[in-house]
């Protein structure tokens, strides 16, 4: 989904779901991302959080968490 669509400026948004199909008991993970495109430069940030939880002491946390970023120039 693009919030703004001019060539010089747009903000893409992404969301999704992924699952390991090879492993029968695997739980799904939620993915998300956003970016900023300005003329010939783009910044992007994305992440993933698993729906499976693990307990540490008295708190629950996602089993898997990931974050990625990128920067690019078009020339």
> How is the chain split into domains, by residue range?
9-73
Q: What Cα–Cα distance (Å) separates residue 2 from each residue in 5, 9, 24, 33, 37?
A: 6, 10, 35, 12, 11
Query: Mean pLDDT, to the nearest integer, of 28-43?
Result: 93
Q: Minimal CA–CA distance to 32: which of 59, 63, 2, 67? A: 67
Whole-model pTM: value is: 0.73
pLDDT tens per residue across span 3-18: 556 667 888 899 999 9
Buried b / exposed e along 3-33 (16+ C-beta atoms within 10 A):
eeeeeeeeeeeeeeeeeeeeeeeeeebeeeb
């Amino acid at each position: 989904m693009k919030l703004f669509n001019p060539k010089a400026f747009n903000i893409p948004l992404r969301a999704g779901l992924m699952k390991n199909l090879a492993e029968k008991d695997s739980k799904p993970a939620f993915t998300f991302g956003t970016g900023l495109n300005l003329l010939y430069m783009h910044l992007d940030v994305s992440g993933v959080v698993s729906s499976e939880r693990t307990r540490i002491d008295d708190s629950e946390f996602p089993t898997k968490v990931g974050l990625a970023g990128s920067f690019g120039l078009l020339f």
